[in-house]
Structure 1
């Protein structure tokens, strides 16, 4: 129904239709400068000692699929995400009793940029394909976790000769700025020729305490020609006001898969909310998908996203338990192998749309 029809209905009923109601609603687009043209963003849980090493072999199933002589490229965005170090300290409130300080923040970047693993492994996989004459139309993008400077933390560490205490916004901002600068400097030195750094991800899944801090961080990130990303949980504080908070792109978690008491209607509700607020959507599962009841819950996402037009037109992020795609790709069970192929086919199809858009936008020139 177009805006003129809505106006006529309002006049007939004696109702004033607000401009916000009349605005066309749409998801965060499948291919958009808002996301730095990331269409499918894989959440790679990496950093903590309890995570996979993310060798080239482990990350390859996220990069491409081989079918006979054909290579399908899969995820075009890789969020290296972490919320705790696995040694008793966290990067966002609520996961451990103690919060990571400057030492733990720097250690996380050490892990991200470790040779032969994680980001370097991703670059190695792509370089190996290029040597075989197989190259994606677009470079793959990386997003790095930005830890949360937890309010009132007193022991973060020294910066410019001063012990930072997070009971004030300036100290919280300066810690984030230091981390962003360190990450950018490491990226410039890393020689990751097959990748581009797209930006940073706010690891806190709600915006509590960030009303003025987040826009400052967002402004600094944009001053470095980077993007600021966020994936709030369902009904998290601030999830509908993500633009005001300063984020460039936000994806809505439905939080449906994990709780069998949550009805499939949650997926429809989350999609409607995301469309109303210009957000992308997150597809969610973990290896409980081996159980038929949970496989049906994942299928509900796929069916719901198809019905609600997310698969065709919306940007997507993918939570898969930290290693789900890897495990499905190498699974011995034919049903799980088929599930990997189903997901890969969906992602590959979306990537073909994004590639076609890129070629039109760039006149067919490769990056």
Structure 2
């Protein structure tokens, strides 16, 4: 309790010569109250202030001296109050001093349903603890602090790591999470080793450095009525009861604290605990009590608490009233396609006004999307300009391996720049003018992509894994989705143990012959440390029938800015084909990873009209959409041979017929260009009224009946019956056809 002492001398008390001693005494008491209130308000403990207000007045001008003392005190109060505010945040943002020097906090995810995504090794931490320049030289500490938290995932019990009323986690899930954080060889133990190794390499100036650590308090979901027994009383905790939820909170704090102390981590400093939920549950009447309990308990152990609410989350602006020592505000710009970069400015301004830090958000999409790459660079630029780099900074960058590690190992200078620019931001050495943005040039912008959604078959892919690429639907290669992370569902993994004569094959079927094909490309990935290498070669072959293939040559590897590698063939002279085959020879390692198969036609190609071959008797009437000129019975195959472009032949009922079928009046010639319908022609054979492709007595009788009005002809049959081309059916027409089949006249001459 702050004390304010005001003394009065006996002389003053006994002096009766003054007219208003009681007024003076009343004034001093008033001064005492004012000072007490101010000191208590700002929690100032200062011996100087105690001494300065010891007042002994004997003289006539003692009231003036009181006023002087009051003015002096107010001046000192203002200085101390200013210093007190400055110690909270020099520029308004939360400062490292609030969290024992935590400046750059790396979110280190653990406990994933795919274990590799939650297990970071010492090697995985080394380029995060220390900054390595492009020459591979260790130059400085990078991330000085680490938060160990679970991935947003399904737990072994079927629950969720986050607040999900329908799928609450149980005690065994929480225990497994804690086990994962302290897993031998990974996570917190691996970090301790990495920090120790980094300190040795950096030299004597870093001997005393320790990385700050924060552990996570999981959320006790109220709908969990049988959590498990956390305190050994033989009763399962029911989270409908506040006391049971508090027991669980206490358990996870105590358990992790015990594990940390037992670990004897020489290179780590435990600073505090993180509340895992990112908003305030307004519909939970116990939420305030939970937060108060958690914060009070952690503080009673002399540790700090932190919170990272999402953009405009419930309660984000009340973080201090909940009891947290520091909060960091999420912009969520990276994950909201409709948001503009002004979202980052708004986040910074809000954080500054509320005394928060600003979270930097990185996504694996940055490796294959120029849009997301540029979004990340906007984070660094705007946050630097807004001064957020001077405050506490926290960094989201996906699960293991994470964006920053993958950028560090990348040989692509644009991707490597992510690592280098982030270090500059973290160390407050970034000049916003250093930030460069990449022009968003779309893949294959000069081509019409015709392979999207087409069917294909492949050599047996490798599926014996819990990672995303192990789930194969048979649509990955033509769904239009390029690789966005190293092991996700966009990829198909081929393994050397499943080759077909030493090769992997991809066979795409357009369903019909496509024309003017000039682009053939396959996306690939290489992660040598994971046993994935580029193929030794990829040969591109085509066929009309899926049997005899013609080679177009071998693909050339091309890097398209920040995307994964593309193996491509681009032809100067387009080709036609129904089937396209990728013949892949394995590389130096066990796996070959491929994603989108892209086949395209030049955008400047004008869709050609259907044409007939030179010397053919066919005549195409583009006005009436008729095909004339057939003078003898011909098969479907013979008709196709008379036309320059691939076509589909259907009978009068619209059913596709075999190549040896005789073509008759009413048959359809269906013309599509690379899957896009262009035009349909009806076959009109003069004299063939019944549609069998021949001229016979039956046709003569049908025309005669039509003339007499006892038979009705549709438009195409009417055109075939108009032998003399006078646009009407007359006796002349059936007499000419009679002479034709008797051999005394040729209706085609």
The question of whether the paired residues in 1 share the 8 Å contact of 2:200 and 2:207 is answered with no
TM-score, length-scaled by structure 1: 0.84
Alpha-carbon distance in structure 2 between the residues aligned to 1:132 and 1:310: 30
User: Residue 120 of structure 2 corresponds to which residue in structure 1?
Assistant: 54
1:187-336 alignment runs, 5 A limit: 187-208=260-281, 209=284, 210-290=287-367, 291-311=369-389, 313-322=390-399, 323-336=402-415
Alpha-carbon distance in structure 2 between the residues aligned to 1:232 and 1:196: 24
SS in 2 for 1:187: helix
The question of whether the paired residues in 1 share the 8 Å contact of 2:155 and 2:169 is answered with no
SS in 2 for 1:125: helix
The question of whether the paired residues in 2 share the 8 Å contact of 1:73 and 1:136 is answered with no
User: Residue 189 of structure 2 corresponds to which residue in structure 1?
Assistant: 120
1:77 equivalenced with 2:145 (yes/no): yes
User: Residue 365 of structure 1 corresponds to which residue in structure 2?
Assistant: none
1:180 equivalenced with 2:246 (yes/no): no
1:18-37 deviations in whole A, cap 9, x for unaligned?
xxxxx9984343321x2222
Deviation at 1:137, TM superposition (A): 5.4
Alpha-carbon distance in structure 1 between the residues aligned to 2:278 and 2:387: 25
Alpha-carbon distance in structure 1 between the residues aligned to 2:210 and 2:264: 14
The question of whether the paired residues in 2 share the 8 Å contact of 1:47 and 1:85 is answered with no
**Greater relative CO, 1 or 2 (CA 8 Å, sep 6+):** 1
Distance 1:97 1:107, change over 3 A: same
Deviation at 1:230, TM superposition (A): 0.5
SS in 2 for 1:99: coil
The question of whether the paired residues in 2 share the 8 Å contact of 1:80 and 1:145 is answered with yes
Structure showing the higher strand proportion among its residues: 2
User: Residue 527 of structure 2 corresponds to which residue in structure 1?
Assistant: none
Deviation at 1:86, TM superposition (A): 4.9
SS in 1 for 2:288: coil
1:30 equivalenced with 2:103 (yes/no): no
1:255-300 deviations in whole A, cap 9, x for unaligned?
1111221011111111111111110000112111122111111111
Distance 1:335 1:137, change over 3 A: farther
1:287-332 deviations in whole A, cap 9, x for unaligned?
1112211111111111111121111x21111111221111111123
Deviation at 1:350, TM superposition (A): 6.9
User: Residue 160 of structure 1 corresponds to which residue in structure 2?
Assistant: 232
Alpha-carbon distance in structure 1 between the residues aligned to 2:202 and 2:321: 44
Structure showing the higher helix proportion among its residues: 1
Distance 1:325 1:93, change over 3 A: same
**Stretch deviating more after TM superposition (159-168 or 61-70):** 61-70
User: Residue 499 of structure 2 corresponds to which residue in structure 1?
Assistant: none
The question of whether the paired residues in 1 share the 8 Å contact of 2:148 and 2:216 is answered with yes
Deviation at 1:100, TM superposition (A): 1.7
1:340 equivalenced with 2:409 (yes/no): no
Alpha-carbon distance in structure 2 between the residues aligned to 1:235 and 1:152: 25
Alpha-carbon distance in structure 2 between the residues aligned to 1:345 and 1:207: 34
Deviation at 1:349, TM superposition (A): 3.9
TM-score, length-scaled by structure 2: 0.42
SS in 1 for 2:314: coil
1:91 equivalenced with 2:169 (yes/no): no
Distance 1:302 1:129, change over 3 A: closer
SS in 1 for 2:96: coil
* Bigger Rg, which one: 2
SS in 2 for 1:123: helix
Deviation at 1:225, TM superposition (A): 1.1
Alpha-carbon distance in structure 1 between the residues aligned to 2:221 and 2:292: 16
Distance 1:266 1:137, change over 3 A: farther
Alpha-carbon distance in structure 2 between the residues aligned to 1:349 and 1:137: 22
The question of whether the paired residues in 1 share the 8 Å contact of 2:212 and 2:268 is answered with yes
In the alignment, which of 172, 175, 198 is matched to residue 129 of structure 1?
198
Structure 1: runs of 5+ lacking an equivalent: 1-22, 352-367
1:101-127 deviations in whole A, cap 9, x for unaligned?
111111111111111100000111122
Alpha-carbon distance in structure 2 between the residues aligned to 1:223 and 1:100: 27
1:186-224 deviations in whole A, cap 9, x for unaligned?
111112100011111111111213212101110000111
Distance 1:239 1:100, change over 3 A: same
The question of whether the paired residues in 2 share the 8 Å contact of 1:72 and 1:348 is answered with no
Alpha-carbon distance in structure 1 between the residues aligned to 2:418 and 2:255: 40
Deviation at 1:66, TM superposition (A): 2.6
SS in 1 for 2:339: coil
SS in 2 for 1:155: coil
Deviation at 1:85, TM superposition (A): 5.1
SS in 2 for 1:306: helix
User: Residue 211 of structure 2 corresponds to which residue in structure 1?
Assistant: 140
The question of whether the paired residues in 1 share the 8 Å contact of 2:168 and 2:223 is answered with no
Alpha-carbon distance in structure 2 between the residues aligned to 1:273 and 1:145: 25
Alpha-carbon distance in structure 2 between the residues aligned to 1:205 and 1:122: 25
Alpha-carbon distance in structure 2 between the residues aligned to 1:85 and 1:348: 36
